């Protein structure tokens, strides 16, 4: 397990909290599949992670647009940066089949990014959106 539920900052909007909880389950499963070197499972979970991240970011962006949240462009730019990184990771995975690259990315980049992003951006957004 690379991230526990207790490590996830809670925000003032239950939809967003649910999105984050779902995401860390996929992240933990993918991390475990990498540790085991289960290539088929990594293929499945990488697809699932990309899909889930898109759903997570898109849902937040829709909520922000509906609420006409002033920091929408900055928050979306943060999402766009990570969208690019995970797409690049997927390209590299397809080409090189390096499970270690994925587990390093999860541990050193995605998880710290997620915790910081939620604490900085999602929490402020959630306060504006309410529950
Ligand atoms: Fe989020
Ligand atoms: Fe966000």
As a whole number of angstroms, the distance between CA 104 and CA 107 comes to 5
Distance, CA 22 to ligand 1 centroid (Å)?
11
In this structure, what CATH number is given to the domain that contains residue 98? 1.20.120.50
Q: Is residue 87 a part of any domain in this protein?
A: yes
Tens digit of pLDDT per residue, the chain (131 long)? 999 999 999 999 999 999 999 999 999 999 999 999 999 999 999 999 999 999 999 999 999 999 999 999 999 999 999 999 999 999 999 999 999 999 999 999 999 999 999 999 999 999 999 98
- What pLDDT is recorded for position 124? 97
Q: Is residue 4 a part of any domain in this protein?
A: no
Q: Is residue 6 a part of any domain in this protein?
A: no
Q: Looking at the CA of 21, name the nearest ligand.
A: 1
Structure tokens, 72: 């929408």
Residues 6+ apart with CB under 8 A from 118: 8, 9, 11, 20
Q: Is residue 50 a part of any domain in this protein?
A: yes
Concatenated DSSP letters for 59-99? HHHHHHHHTT-TTHHHHHHHHHHHHHHHHHHHHHHHHH--H
Distance, CA 18 to ligand 1 centroid (Å)?
9
Q: Looking at the CA of 82, name the nearest ligand.
A: 2
This prediction's pTM: 0.97
Q: Is residue 84 a part of any domain in this protein?
A: yes
Distance, CA 108 to ligand 2 centroid (Å)?
19
Which residue segment(s) compose the domain that 43 sits in?
11-129
- What pLDDT is recorded for position 47? 98
- What pLDDT is recorded for position 29? 98
Q: Is residue 5 a part of any domain in this protein?
A: no
Q: Is residue 1 a part of any domain in this protein?
A: no
Running DSSP on this structure, what letter comes out for residue 3? -
Tell the burial category of 91 from Cβ atoms under 10 Å away from its Cβ (0-12, 13-18, 19+): exposed
Q: How many separate domains does the chain show?
A: 1
As a whole number of angstroms, the distance between CA 1 and CA 24 comes to 10
Distance, CA 121 to ligand 2 centroid (Å)?
6
Q: Is-contact 123 47, C-beta < 8 A? A: no
Residue in the structure block whose two tokens are 């990498």: 34
Q: Is residue 62 a part of any domain in this protein?
A: yes
């Amino acid at each position: 397990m690379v991230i526990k539920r207790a490590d996830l900052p809670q925000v003032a909007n239950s939809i967003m909290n649910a999105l984050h909880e779902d995401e860390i389950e996929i992240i933990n499963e993918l991390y475990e599949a990498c540790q085991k070197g289960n290539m088929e499972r990594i293929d499945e979970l990488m697809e699932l992670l990309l899909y889930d991240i898109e759903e997570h970011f898109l849902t937040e962006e829709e909520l922000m647009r509906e609420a006409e949240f002033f920091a929408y462009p900055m928050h979306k730019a943060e999402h766009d940066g990570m969208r690019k990184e995970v797409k690049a990771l997927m390209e590299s995975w397809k080409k090189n089949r390096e499970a270690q690259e994925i587990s390093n990315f999860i541990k050193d980049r995605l998880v710290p990014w997620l915790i910081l992003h939620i604490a900085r951006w999602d929490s402020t957004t959630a306060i504006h959106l309410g529950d």
